Structure 1
Amino acid sequence: MPSLAKPIQALRARPLLVDCLIAAASAALLGLGAAPHGGAFGDPAPVGVVLLAVLVAAPLVVRRRYPIAVLLTSVVIMTVYTSLGYRATLGEPAAFIAAYTVWARYPPAKAVAPTVAWVVLFELGLVLGDVPSFVVDTTRLLAQCAGTIIVGRLGYLRADRMVERAVRAEREIRLEAEQAVAEERIRIAHELHDVVSHHISVISVQANLARYVFESSPDTARTALDTITGTTTEALDELRRLLGVLRPPRYELREYRPQPGLADLPALVARVREAGLTVKTRTTGEPRRLPPGQQLCTYRIAQEALTNVLKHAGEACAELTLEYGADELVLRVRNSASEGTPPPNPAGQGLIGMRERARMYGGQIEMGPVGSGGFAIELTLPYLPQERAR
């Protein structure tokens, strides 16, 4: 048995060769078993009839690609052969192999129709050929047909289980890969936290030292500043290394640009106006220079709010207000009503993202319908302690 493993494996790797061998064997049985009406095995038959019998098996070469077409073609040729009064004394393997392929490839709903056509055409051939053993041939056909359907159905179920098993295995591999990536990202996040914390602590200590001895010991202050410079360089190198690990494998390098801030709001408003939305802007209070993170938070929320107006109320007018208070920055984006267009869903992904951004910087965001069908979003972002002192 072990000696047959390699040849069997080689044949499985060449399905077309297997089908050619099956077609050749079926053609040999049909050709050798061709007999005239009322004849028996070994009785001579015209060459044309033998060729017609061989032709019944020829479509089996492409049975995997066109199962139903192969079955119907073989049965039609066999019907012509039988209706001319000739018999296949060694059996009719081509039709059964083709029927098995249909039932092994398709569910019953799709395999029943060609099988019924096979039986009907076979019976038609028996009637036209005036076969003396009509009842015997019909009974044999139905028994063989039932066996073919059972075997083919078992093959279909087995293939279906194999596909399901392969899909499950692929899903498990993908989940394992995702889990490994998540664990690696957590490890990198911890490492990133340790690197940043260490270097920031060193920078803070040295900066306090430099400020303390700035006038009394300039050399010590200069040494502290040199240490800050070196530590900053090391921190940036470590961050680049860790972020390089997090970059996707096929990430295309592109030009890096600074993140947008409050100074970019006029450009954002201009783009929205070019898209067809009427936007009014207003700024109150004394503008402050906020940290980049807070500026980015405010910009992104304004961007999302104006985008929502474009999407959900494109014919409305919008008003964007920036209010610099004593302790907090307030951003308001309000739009008028637009007929026939519902307000955005507060549970939508964009609005959820706004809440997350606001919460990240200790802010609050309120949103909902106002006036007669309009919608408003209001962000309240408290200043950092050092900003409040200014």
Structure 2
Amino acid sequence: MNDLPAPLRSPVLARAGGAAYLLAVALLFGGAPRASGTVHGIGALLAASLLAGLLRRNPPAALALALLGSTAIVAARPNAAPADLPAAAYQGQFLAYLAADVVLGFTVATRGRRAAAVATAVSCSVQLLVIGVFAHGDNLTVNLLISLLATVAAAIAGLLGRERREHAVALRAQEVVEAVSAERLRIARELHDLVAHSIGVIAIQAGVGARIIATRPDDAAEALRTIETTSRETLAGLRRTLVSLRQADDDDPSLSPTPGLADLERLAAATGDAGVRVELRRTGERRPLPAEVDLSAYRIVQEALTNVVRHAGVGRCRVTVDQGDTELLVEIVDDGRGPVPRGGGSTGFGLIGMRERAALLGGRLSGGPRPEGGFRVAAHLPLPVRTAVEVR
């Protein structure tokens, strides 16, 4: 029942379905009094499909309506039928309760154990009581037995359905745990491959430099340069790994390319669609950026624009990207009222997340109200030193 189309989940349509079911039941025993009980029973079973929306939202209410409709058909048959109607026409009138049994099965499958037990007891009691009143002669025992078996079968089918669903949920949870474990092992291998060799080189060069620093200063200086280069490369690799882990929930590299500052125009257009016009300014020499810097700068702008849309209450803002030789400056400024503090005075986790991104790259981020009004977020992200080949 969780896979029902969205329209059937509407509360209005659910109530309309319940009313349509009652109308269908009224037409069944009011419009064709000479029809056999079997025809009425099958009609009640088909009419139960109108309860699909209500069954999705409120199974106990759907079961109550199904029991009410089935009982109405059974109880009205003798009074509505002409006196000359043959007794055979009454045979099968209790088939109407099959509709209630179907609803009972779904109720047991989707509700808790206590609610399922109560629903089964109520359904069984109502059916046995009504059959005991309106069945006569040899048909009494047979109809009581059939009703009891049908109720038990519906409850068992519901239990099997619930166990199957719970088993599927458990399997999915197990798959998630196994996926997390596999990802941890992959990360451990990646970090080991990334760090172990570099740390070994650093340790060796540090030992060599310590021994020859007094007698061979030039060689010692070369060892220190090797340590510096290796350390920077290792740190950059660690940062890339950490950034990729932080972004695992936002972007799946196998499905879409990683966004960067080249995508700011598209982000500005999307923000404009949300009601805030973005003035985008770019200064400095535009050159390829390290992937982790490019991604983090984009995410900082994205989060800041999200805060403007949600909290600033203003129709425009300005985004400035200044790409220098050693630093990337990203600034987002608006003239609005700024974030609305929560109960404890905190403005949420947006600024915290942006500061973490900047700190992860060795940069800094500031954010707060402007003296002239509005709010300003500025991120300073360090860039690698350009080599002679890049400058040339």
TM-score (norm 2): 0.46
TM-score (norm 1): 0.47
Larger-gyration structure (1/2) = 1
